[in-house]
Structure 1
């Protein structure tokens, strides 16, 4: 990679981080390109050289965030062979990233902003991931007999997404507590009795820490998501 290309990549990442910081503070409609360019210490013209308009920049933040969160979900999934614990660990991992990574947090909020088109990429992907893991748990005999998978999938997605949208920066401990409380109340009605005792609603610390740290510092490459069965379907 040449020096000019490296500089262009660094500039783009600076723009995305600056945009994420503004989108995290303002809603999409209120955010201004002039504020974003000022935060990145560059002219609005330079910003337009890389992004055609505000929506183009917002979509770039969403795509970057989706890649970070996808990588984290894949890593947490690969570290856990029990599907319900994997689901719990993934939710804790995503919660920690949303608390500490402004790009992830802004991307999720932009994806749920009703003033934008092309929304809910995260919601659909998370729904597919939860459905896949619950289906695997059912096949392995890990679900309680009375569980209706479709209803439980919708409940888990709605609850965890709601927590995620409310997350603010630096709230890692509070978010860990919120997800732990959710799973403490939810798992007893979800897991088969012989599986329930093996599950940790607080998440597996080593798994969560590994997935969060690896995902925060590795840039996302879209090609990583192509042609792999390592992650649950929908974690894209």
Structure 2
């Protein structure tokens, strides 16, 4: 990679981080490009050189947040053969990312912001991930007999996303407690009785820590997105 290309990548990442910090503090309608460019210590003209408008920038923040989730989900999924525990672990990984990574947090909030009309990306990825793991659990006889997959998938995504929207930076301990409490109440109606005692609603600690730490810093290449999406959604 040439020096000029490397500088362009670093500049773009700085702009995305600055935008995420503003979108994390303000709603989409209130956020101003002048505030974002000032936070990045750049001119508004320089910002427009990389992004056509505010929606274009918001879409890039959401896309980057989605990519971070893909990487984290892939890492957790590959290291856990039990689909329900993998689902729990990925949710805890998501909660920790939302706590300490402003791009992930801003991406989720932009995806839920009704003042913008961009397509939901982050939430669709989380929904596909949950659906894939629940399908896998049903095929392996891991689910309780009365479970309706579509309803349960929607409930899990709605509840965890709702908690996620309320997360603030540095709330790692509180969010882990919130997600643990959710799974403590939810797993008894979800898992087959003989499996329940082997599931940890608090997540597999070392696996969650590894996925959180590694996912944010893995080098991004276009093929990675395809591989990660296939891992969590089953698309090849």
TM-score bin (small chain): over 0.9
Match of residue 56 from structure 1: 56
More divergent stretch after superposition (162-171 vs 218-227) = 218-227
Asked whether the equivalents of residues 137 and 143 of structure 1 are also in contact (C-alpha less than 8 Å), the reply is yes
List per-residue Cα deviations over 1:133-183 (Å, max 9, x = no partner): 111111111111111112111111110111111111110000000000000
Gaps in structure 1 of 5+ consecutive residues: none
For each residue in 1:42-100, what CA deviation from the matched residue of structure 2 results, as whole angstroms up to 9, or x when unmatched?
Answer: 11111111111111111111111111111001111111000000000000000100100
The count of corresponding residues between Structure 1 and Structure 2 is 235
Instruction: Supply the distance in 1 between the matched residues of 2:28 and 2:118 (Cα, whole angstroms).
Output: 13
Equivalence for 2:108: 108
Map residues 37-186 of structure 1 onto 2, 5 A cutoff: 37-186=37-186
Relative distance call for 1:113 and 1:156 in structure 2 (3 A) is same
Separation of aligned partners in 1, 2:234 and 2:36: 31
Contact 2:74 2:228 in 1 (8 A): no
Give the secondary structure class of the aligned counterpart of 2:233. coil
Tell me: CA distance 1:145–1:157, structure 2 relative to 1, closer, same or farther (3 Å): same
* Aligned pairs (5 A) from 1:9-24: 9-24=9-24
Question: Could you tell me how far apart the structure 2 residues matched to 1:211 and 1:134 are?
Answer: 20
Structure 2: 5+ residue stretches without partners = none
CA distance in 2, matches of 1:37, 1:234: 39
Bigger drift between 127-136 and 84-93 goes to 127-136
TM-score (norm 1): 0.95
Counterpart for residue 221 of structure 2: 221
Residue 203 of structure 2: aligned partner: 203
Name the counterpart of 1:3: 3
How far off is 1:229 after superposition?
7.4
Counterpart contact for 1:67–1:221, Cα < 8 Å? no
CA distance in 1, matches of 2:152, 2:227: 29
RMSD: 1.5
Give the distance between the partners of 1:131 and 1:168, measured in 2 at CA. Answer: 27
Q: Contact (CA 8 Å) 2:65, 2:122: kept in 1 or not?
A: no
Q: Which moved more, 1:214-223 or 1:204-213?
A: 214-223
Instruction: Measure how far apart 1:221 and its partner are.
Output: 2.9
In structure 2, what is the Cα distance between the partners aligned to 1:222 and 1:164?
A: 27
1:25-44 correspondence to structure 2 within 5 Å: 25-44=25-44
Query: Using the alignment, how far apart are the partners of 1:147 and 1:88 within structure 2?
Result: 17
Task: Describe the shift of the 1:166–1:133 C-alpha distance in structure 2 as closer, same or farther (beyond 3 A).
Answer: same
